[in-house]
Chains A and B, each alone.
Chain A
Amino acid sequence: MAEWFDMGKHTWFVWGSYGVFAFFIVAELLLLERRRRTILQRLSRTSRMNSGVNDET
């Protein structure tokens, strides 16, 4: 298995490139999903508050 990842004297350059690339892609996807959840939670909260106000009136 280890030999698959062995790039000889270029191991750092190849995996340093692919590793950072993968990190950024994963980070972008996670941050985007987190942003989406935050917005949805805020909207649901606002909606509940508004319906509460409407119920009282």
Chain B
Amino acid sequence: MNINWFKYASPASFYPLAGKMIPWFAIPAGILAFIGLVMGLFVLPPDFKQGESYRIIFIHVPAAWMSMVIYLAMAFWAIVGMVWNSRLSAMMAIALAPTGAMFCFLALWTGALWGKPTWGTYWVWDARLTTQLILLFMYLGYMALHAAIEDPRRAARASGLLAIVGAFNVPIIYFSVQWWNTLHQGASITPNKSEMAASMASVMLIMAVAAWLYAIAVALKRVRCEILDRERHASWVAELVTKTGQVHG
């Protein structure tokens, strides 16, 4: 099958494609999240050591993973946008940021609420928590910088640079628990081994896949808004509006 990928680099072609792709991610995300939540909150027994509070892991770990993955994806699109000067890549980068920032905040929030019963404190300035907090500031800085510059090309370039520089923080977050003595525990799951019971690990993975699918669906929906917003003077948007009365396709 010969697909012309560059065709979809144009916002006009990508807009309807993104619209068609959204349900393919959103519906499985909803189903998996429902299964994961029922299993994680009501079916699995309490942990023998931590009691009920361990259930926070099912949202804490996926949120933390997504906050890092989305930042890397953002930096990736920023690089693509800069190298190939493609407008759509720059739009993808900015479309990812709010969801990444949300997951980053939620990782910190759920971590604090898990930390209190487990460590006796909501917050400690250890390497993992501090670098994760820096990631949140990077997201907020990225969005603020992008919003502050009116010219879209200059905004994409300046904020893209910030995204790329900030990406160096992501491996530091991930390996912080190995490099420094932290209160935060080591990785729960690595490619070779799991520190958790199989049932707990599988529920966590279900929730992680749901979070991935959710993030993709939301990013696609947001990038469609970005496209319409920025291409509002383009003839294809005008055609779409006059053709359908409203823009659905």
Contact = CB atoms under 8 A, between A and B. Distances in A.
A24 B218 CA distance: 13
Contact of B53 (A14, A43, A46): A14
Given A28-B99, A28-B102, A47-B238, A13 B53 contact: yes
A36 B106 CA distance: 24
A8 interface: yes
B185 to A, nearest CB: 17
Chain B contact patch, size range = 35 or more
B49 to A, nearest CB: 13
Contact of B52 (A14, A29, A32, A42): A14
A39 B228 contact: yes
Interface string B218-229: 100110110011
Contacts, number: 87
B242 A35 contact: no
B186 to A, nearest CB: 21
Interface string B233-249: 00001100110011100
Interface stretch (B4-12, B56-64, B133-141): B56-64
Interface residues of A, number: 30
Nearest to A6: B52
A40 B15 CA distance: 14
Interface string B88-117: 000000000011001001100110011011
B199 to A, nearest CB: 18
B51 A40 contact: no
A20 B218 contact: no
Interface string A19-54: 011001100110010011001101110110011000
Contacts of B37: 18
Contact of B113 (A4, A13, A29, A43): A13
Top 9 nearest A-B pairs (CB, nearest first) are: A7-B52, A10-B53, A17-B110, A10-B52, A47-B241, A13-B113, A17-B113, A17-B56, A39-B228
Given A14-B56, A44-B241, 4 more contacts: A12-B113, A17-B109, A28-B99, A47-B242
